[in-house]
A = this chain, B = another copy of it.
């Protein structure tokens, strides 16, 4: 048994970590655009990265370190993705860390960037920005604010986990993401730190499994960026650990952060779970639920609050999975809107379906009726604001 309690303070609640955010002049106004996360001593790190073939320079820079390396410093900037910048992009990171390394000791520092593709980093601004950091701060809120792009709100979360023996550890994360969100790794940056005494060998698998059931199940627009990264850093300072407790806390953290990203989906007003069950294979279940969460016609129907189940059925058929219209049952929450026994949605049930669609959050449940496999993906509606936000993202 163990207890998991939400904490205020984000990354700052975890022993051994410091963080802050400042404005270095990449973003107009006062909002920070540069953050650091550092640990008192070098700590183990694991990460999952975008499936995009054009990985950004910071990801390539990370991959130059030997497997199993330790780090004590993370630098994160918004406004510029440092992607499609070639060898220069990697050299710029080295230049930045050489300059910072003259001020403080750095062990295998890691950079992470988000923003527009195709422009070199303003290295001078970033190096000057470092001077403004309070290196002993635990200002998680400022760090979470610094990494925002089109996000409407900063995203941070922390848990304290208490084990049966009375020992406890912490796990906390900040993330950003609002557009270019696709199940093949949501477009986002996420930094998770823990003081749990987790064995280095377990970190990678636990992170991968957790990302698969959280960030990899959400979709805002079906696009996948060049910079997506999720990092897990462990300081071990608490001396406390239990695998099941840690896994549970990590899964809660990633799932809730993923839902925050979806809540903040560009122009989105609704968060909808697409529960597919009764599919012939797991691959079919995943395919159908992801196709639903990415369909423009489904997303606009969610926005219009139109109980047009025909678009749900048509999208399942278009996904190419094994299916049969006489076995399919579609429900909005518990309300059957289609089964071959009730082919016509009468006015009463249509009104009930319309009521459900007015909710901020609900489930669309599709029983394919041909097997046992199931999968749930999460999506949002497509509004005028999505188009507005993305038509002039750079300006």
A46 to B380, CA, bound (A): 41
Q: Does A83 contact B (CB under 8 A)?
A: yes
CB-CB contacts of A74-108 with B at 8 A, as 1s and 0s? Answer: 00000001011110100000000000000000000
Q: Does A238 contact B (CB under 8 A)?
A: no
Contact of A320 among B53, B221, B296 (CB under 8 A): B53
Contact of B303 with A88 in the complex, beta carbons under 8 Å: no
- A264-315 residues with Cβ-Cβ distance < 8 A to B are 295-297, 300-301, 303-304, 306, 308-311, 313-315
Contact of B325 with A391 in the complex, beta carbons under 8 Å: no
Contact of A390 with B320 in the complex, beta carbons under 8 Å: no
Q: Enumerate chain B residues within 8 angstroms of A326, measured Cβ to Cβ.
A: 86
Contact of B394 with A388 in the complex, beta carbons under 8 Å: no
Count residues of chain A with CB under 8 A from any CB of chain B: 67
A381 to B39, CA, bound (A): 47
A55 to B224, CA, bound (A): 31
Contact of B318 with A184 in the complex, beta carbons under 8 Å: yes
Q: Does A321 contact B (CB under 8 A)?
A: yes
Q: Does A51 contact B (CB under 8 A)?
A: yes
30 contacting pairs across A/B (C-beta < 8 A): A52-B314, A53-B320, A53-B321, A53-B322, A53-B323, A54-B314, A81-B310, A83-B310, A83-B313, A83-B314, A84-B313, A84-B343, A86-B325, A116-B310, A117-B309, A117-B310, A117-B311, A118-B309, A119-B344, A179-B297, A184-B318, A223-B295, A296-B386, A300-B386, A300-B390, A303-B391, A306-B391, A308-B393, A308-B394, A387-B387
Which 9 A-B pairs rank lowest in CB-CB distance, beginning with the nearest? A117-B310, A304-B391, A54-B317, A300-B390, A224-B318, A53-B317, A52-B317, A221-B296, A118-B310
